[in-house]
Structure 1
């Protein structure tokens, strides 16, 4: 199927996804205002980037800086399938709260498990989930593929102050888990960058701030269901985007839908 599709989230307009199947998305040399992450699912292509010739193949990830001139020439258009993730430059720099070091293009080879994992995360970006979940996914994709801190004059380290800060953030989420919490909120509260917050939380609690918030919401919802509370009321009171989002998360944690759990307790 020859097609090009775009996805944008009006409520979180820091990224855009482009899916191309057996199509050349641009036949001219060009540059993007955004940083570009490409995932090649099928086929191969010759990419000319700043007068340097590079070959990208199936299971390759490509990272191109904003403003870098490049063009893409598929070896066989009938065997060419990829997705592009465009990221606003100011958002990318907000991850670390500093300007990033310039670069041209980097390529990473992946195995099938890597591709499947990244594809699932890109799919989740197109679902009805919260800003903090989507922002966490974007940062996770970048760090998994290209190790974000390498693009900044910064190195991550952990000391006692950082550990104290991670518990401070955890307590903030404990006290506000039903509210809308963004990484920007946590950054302002703790004084750490968004990237630093996610790294610290993963190292100390083996999860992300958003996943921890979801866990608190789900456990609270479970107790409310035991009391016979209405599912739509619980969805609203716990801060889920909608009932389908609540149902999906509840089933992921407990292997059963909220409705079935409610019926089993009555």
Structure 2
């Protein structure tokens, strides 16, 4: 590793992916391949990607999109520190979300400021190591949506509204429990990628965010009924009392204790 360079890898607990945040100076890599989809975004500096004999300059604000098995070399350009963040997405995992095994990127990079901004937010969030299975799976569904864009946008099928209703009903019934997108998708009868995206389009909230709302609504009822805060946290699936307090305050605007007092 060159002086002043770093590479920090993270492996989230609930989803089978790996991510890395790198900072390189004067660094080059020979021709190599990855078994996974490589989806990244450049935060600073620039690099040159050589793919199939064609050079591509990828700079700050650009996304990196490489297919599994796609031979490439890369090297940093200029004197600025090259910083980028990458997700390595196993093809079989992407297929479980999209229902497709044939997805391929048309180019090794693209420019989309909004997508890059959200992608970097999600990458930093995963680095923190927080979130339960549903939250991490929902975030991964969003990453796949960003990565593949129109290629995996759900068809406007007549069954999707019914699927969303089924998923919402499942959450309404099981919001106290720990579950992931697999259970929701099975209940709805569609792929988990389609479900995650369609649910968010229909309700303006991800399945995880909707479950959190349901939990907080029930917490308010239980608080006013006099239940102890620790019991509420345990009953509603929060990791501990502090977790409940943070979520409650972020949604309601005041702490559970102050809510009960008022």
- TM-score tier after normalising by the smaller chain length: 0.7 to 0.9
Q: How does 1:1-266 map to 2 (within 5 A)?
A: 2-9=5-12, 11-23=13-25, 27-76=29-78, 78-103=80-105, 105-111=107-113, 114-126=115-127, 127-147=129-149, 150=151, 156-159=155-158, 161-262=159-260, 264-265=261-262
Task: Classify 1:68/1:221 alpha carbon distance in 2 versus 1 (closer, same or farther; 3 Å).
Answer: same
> Larger deviation: 243-252 or 34-43?
243-252
Checking the alignment, whether the CA contact within 8 Å between 1:61 and 1:109 is kept in structure 2 is yes
Structure 1 residue 226: Cα displacement: 2.4
For structure 2, list consecutive stretches of 5 or more residues without a partner in the other structure. none
Q: List structure 1 segments (4+ residues) > 4 angstroms apart after TM superposition.
A: 23-26
Checking the alignment, whether the CA contact within 8 Å between 2:23 and 2:82 is kept in structure 1 is yes
For structure 1, list consecutive stretches of 5 or more residues without a partner in the other structure. none
- When normalised by structure 2's length, the TM-score is 0.88
Task: Classify 1:115/1:217 alpha carbon distance in 2 versus 1 (closer, same or farther; 3 Å).
Answer: same
- When normalised by structure 1's length, the TM-score is 0.87
Structure 1 residue 4: Cα displacement: 1.2
> Larger deviation: 71-80 or 187-196?
71-80
* Partner SS state of residue 29, structure 1: strand
Distance 1:232 1:261 in 2: 15
Checking the alignment, whether the CA contact within 8 Å between 1:5 and 1:20 is kept in structure 2 is yes
Task: Classify 1:70/1:242 alpha carbon distance in 2 versus 1 (closer, same or farther; 3 Å).
Answer: farther
Aligned pairs, number: 258
Distance 2:223 2:26 in 1: 51
Q: Cα RMSD between the aligned structures? A: 2.3
